[in-house]
Amino acid sequence: MSGVSGRIAFVQARWHEEIVDRGRVGFAGEIAALDFDDDRVDYFTVPGAFELPLHAQRLAESGRYAAVVCAALVVDGGIYRHEFVVSTVLDGLMRVQLDTGVPVCSVVLAPHQFQGRPEHVEFFGRHFVEKGIEAARACAVTVASLNALQLQPVTGM
């Protein structure tokens, strides 16, 4: 990834880890294909999606990372509205990037229907690989474009 210095943090939830981990695999493969050394990516796990924004915030505020990528699968557990959970998580991740200026890319998905049947696990596993690849590309482009901006402070307003 030309034009990208520093490190990248990849944080993933442990819920449905066998599926979410496929997002990490897709991300790692694509980031390597973009000539970004895997030893410059730090991988973290958290219990669930709800913990992602706080971890992303701490990592972004550390000054160590050029970007943070978060991954989770939020499913309808039948007890609560999973749309509320994913909306809260994504709003939190957006706030982190706006408050810190560090890009936060998302591989947080909330499928309309998910059951733990083998065909769903296989389908969403493949989908997470693709989303991990997309996140790596978005991360690379966003970090490079932000680095290229080299904005000067506005004066005389």
Token digits for 45?
């796990």
For this structure, is 81 an active site residue?
A: yes
CA distance 8 to 89: 20
* List 81, 95, 126, 137, catalytic entry: 81
Q: Which residues are catalytic?
A: 81
